[in-house]
Structure 1
C-alpha cells in the first residue's frame, strides 16, 4: 500500500473484541495501514472451527467472518485463564490501540488486565465498546442488535403507522457503532508523528444510536412534538414514498417546484390544477388517492426507466436495489467497490472510502491462530502464557 494511502502505517492495533462493531473498527484501521492483531479464543472442540470472536455463534467458515476477518492477523489466547490475560496485556503494552467489548462486570477481568498493561512507557488508546457504557444503572445489561435499536428510540419511528415498530435488517447497528468507535480512536491519535498517549474511550452503543436521532429528540424537547411511524411516506411533503413498479420498487420524491413536470410525465395534466393535488398540503391530505394514480402509472415502467426518467426530469427518484442490483451496479464497479475473497470468486464489500483514486484493500481473513507463532515470538509470549 503506497504511503499516501496508509496514514496509520506503523500503528499496531490489538482487537480483543468479539462482536461485529469491534471488527468493523479494526478493519477500517487496517484499511488505513494499521497492523491489526486479532485475539481469538480456543475453538473448544466445536466444529467447524468456530470463533467466539464472531458474534452470536457465527462460524469462521461463514460469510460474516470472510468479510469481517479481513485485514487482521490471528493469535489464539485463552482469556478465561490468567496466563491468557497476562499474554493479552503484554500484547497491549506494545500496541497503540486496543479494542475490547467485555461487559463491565465480566468476572474474567479482561479490561482490568488491559489497563494494568500501562506501566512505564506503555501507552495506548483503550476503546471499550459495550451496549450501555461503563457506568449507569443499565451498564451490566446484555443487549442484542434488536434491543439496542429498540432502546435507542429509533425503532419507534420505523414501520407502518398502524403496525408494530420494525427492526432494520442486517447488522446496521453494529456497523454504525463500529464507525463511531473508529472516529473516536482517530481523534486520540497524534496527527504530527508525536508520541501516543493513553486514552480511555467509553463507547456506549445505545448512545451512538441516540446521536443518530437528533431531529426527533430536539423536536420533542423543543416543540413537544412526537414523531410517529410513517411507513415509507415522508413527514414534510408528498409524494415522498416507495411504490411498486413493473419489476420491483422505486423511491420517489417530488418537490413542489417539480410537481407540474411529474404530473405531465404521468400524462395527468389535470393534477396540476386539481385542488386535492396542486399543492403540498393537498397531497398530504390525500396520499391514498394519489398512490392509486402513481402505482397504476408506475406498473407499466421498470425501476430503471423510472430512475433514469426521474433523474432526467430533475426528480430525485431511486430504484430499490436488490443485492443482485448492487453487485451489477456500474457506479460501484467503476469505483472498484467490491473485492474478491481468497477463493477468487466470492465478492465482498470493500471499505467505505477511497483515498484519492485508491480504495484500500485489507487482504483475506486469517485461519484460527494463523500468525500465532510469529506474533508470540515477536512479542515475547510463550505457550505457557496462553499463546
Structure 2
C-alpha cells in the first residue's frame, strides 16, 4: 500500500483530511496503534517502525480459535491502512535511519515507557531540534511526570485506578472490568484528536508541539455525570448492574424467547408511551410512578413489574411494540449479531480487505463519514513489508544504502 493509493479518490470526491501528512509510528499493543490508525483513516501516510525479529507484540499474542498461524488477528484490529518498516532502534546505523525519517515526518507518536524513546535517540528534544515543525505525541499509562510515571499500565490497571471498575457490575458482586479495552482506545482517540488540532495549529504558528497523553487522565476525562456525583457531592457512585439510578424503568429485560432487550425511559414524556407499549396504562395512573424522580426512587419495584411483563411475549413482539411507541431500546446483541445488524450493513461499516498472508479479512472501518470523501481502508501490513518502499519514498535512498538496513528482514519485504 503506497501513499498515493491510500489517498486514491474517485472523480468528484475530496482527498482525505490528513492527506499528505507523514506520521512516524513508534507504537505497539493498543493505545498508540489505535491513535495512529485513526490518523491513517484520515488519510495520513502512517509508517510503523517495528523491531525486525518479532515486531509489535500483538502479532504474537495468539490466534483466534480455528485461525491459521499466519493470521495476526489481534494486530490487525488496530493497524489497518499503515505501512511497516523493520528497524532495530538499538542498532546505531538503523537508529540513524529512524532519525532521518523523523526529520521529514510531520508527526511522531510513541508509547514506550517514559524515558525509553530518549534512550533510543528518538525523544522529543533531539527530534524537534532537527525538525522544528515536528508534532510529537507520547502516550503512556500515567503520563511523563508524577509519582506513577514509571508504573507499568495495561487497560485493566487503568480501569481500576480510574474508578471505572468500582461502578461496573452488580451491587453485591465484586468490581468488574468493562468487556473492551476502553482505557487504551480512549487514550488513542485523545491522542489523535490532539495531533489533528496541533496540525491545524502548526499551519498558523509554523511551530511543532509536544503532546503528553496519559491513559489515566483520558479515562477520567470521559466518566461524565457519574464522576460529577463524586466531584460535586463527594459521594462514591455505587454499582447498579444494568439499572440507571436516575431513570426508571431502565434495564435489560428478558423476553419469552430468552433474549434480552435493553430499554430506557429517558423522561416523563416517554412514560405514557412506555405504559402503552407494555399494555399497562394502569401504571401511568399511579401517583408513585407519575414523575421520573418518583420512578427512580421506586426503581426496584418498577423494574420487577416490567421484567414480569417482558417474560409474557416474544422478542419480535416487544421490538415492534417499542418501535411503535418510540421508546429507546435495543436487542442485547452478541458481537456476531452486532456485526450483522441491518443498520451496520446500511452504513457499510464492516470492510473486507486482502491481506498478503491471510487473504480476505474483515475489519471494522472508520466510524465517520465525510461528504465527498472515500471511506476505504487498506490491509494491515506484514512485518517489514514496506521497508524498501518507505526508505525510497520518504528518504530517496538508492538500492545499495537500503540493502544494508534491511538485510535482517528481506524475507518480509
TM-score normalised to the size of structure 1? 0.88
Structure 1 residues 196 and 64 mapped into 2: Cα distance closer, same or farther (>3 Å)? farther
Map of 2:379 onto structure 1? 364
CA deviation map 1:299-324 (0-9, x unaligned): 24444543342132121122212222
Question: Aligned-pair distance for 1:98?
Answer: 0.7
Question: Aligned-pair distance for 1:222?
Answer: 2.5
Map of 2:58 onto structure 1? 54
1:38 aligns with 2:53: no
Map of 1:92 onto structure 2? 102
Structure 1 residues 204 and 383 mapped into 2: Cα distance closer, same or farther (>3 Å)? farther
Secondary structure class of the residue paired with 2:116: coil
Question: Aligned-pair distance for 1:352?
Answer: 1.2
Aligned residue runs from structure 1 range 170-249, under 5 A: 170-190=180-200, 197-245=207-255, 246-249=257-260
Map of 1:134 onto structure 2? 144
Map of 1:296 onto structure 2? 308
Q: Please say if residues 89 and 116 of structure 1, whose CA atoms lie closer than 8 Å, have aligned partners that are also in contact.
A: no
1:250 aligns with 2:261: yes
TM-score normalised to the size of structure 2? 0.83
Question: Aligned-pair distance for 1:228?
Answer: 1.2
CA distance in structure 2 between the partners assigned to 1:95 and 1:334 by the alignment = 37
> Which runs of 5 or more residues in structure 1 are unaligned?
44-49
Q: Please say if residues 71 and 364 of structure 1, whose CA atoms lie closer than 8 Å, have aligned partners that are also in contact.
A: yes
CA distance in structure 2 between the partners assigned to 1:316 and 1:40 by the alignment = 45
> Which runs of 5 or more residues in structure 2 are unaligned?
1-7, 64-69, 408-413
Q: Please say if residues 256 and 279 of structure 1, whose CA atoms lie closer than 8 Å, have aligned partners that are also in contact.
A: yes
CA distance in structure 2 between the partners assigned to 1:215 and 1:290 by the alignment = 23
Q: Please say if residues 96 and 196 of structure 1, whose CA atoms lie closer than 8 Å, have aligned partners that are also in contact.
A: no
Greater alpha carbon shift after TM alignment, 53-62 vs 240-249: 53-62
CA distance in structure 2 between the partners assigned to 1:226 and 1:192 by the alignment = 42
CA deviation map 1:195-249 (0-9, x unaligned): 8522110001100001012434433232223321111111212101111122421
Q: Please say if residues 253 and 316 of structure 1, whose CA atoms lie closer than 8 Å, have aligned partners that are also in contact.
A: yes
Q: Please say if residues 5 and 32 of structure 1, whose CA atoms lie closer than 8 Å, have aligned partners that are also in contact.
A: no
Structure 1 residues 316 and 373 mapped into 2: Cα distance closer, same or farther (>3 Å)? same
CA distance in structure 2 between the partners assigned to 1:288 and 1:207 by the alignment = 34
CA distance in structure 1 between the partners assigned to 2:392 and 2:273 by the alignment = 70
1:318 aligns with 2:333: no
Secondary structure class of the residue paired with 2:200: coil
Q: Please say if residues 89 and 114 of structure 1, whose CA atoms lie closer than 8 Å, have aligned partners that are also in contact.
A: no
Count matched residues: 381
Greater alpha carbon shift after TM alignment, 367-376 vs 262-271: 262-271
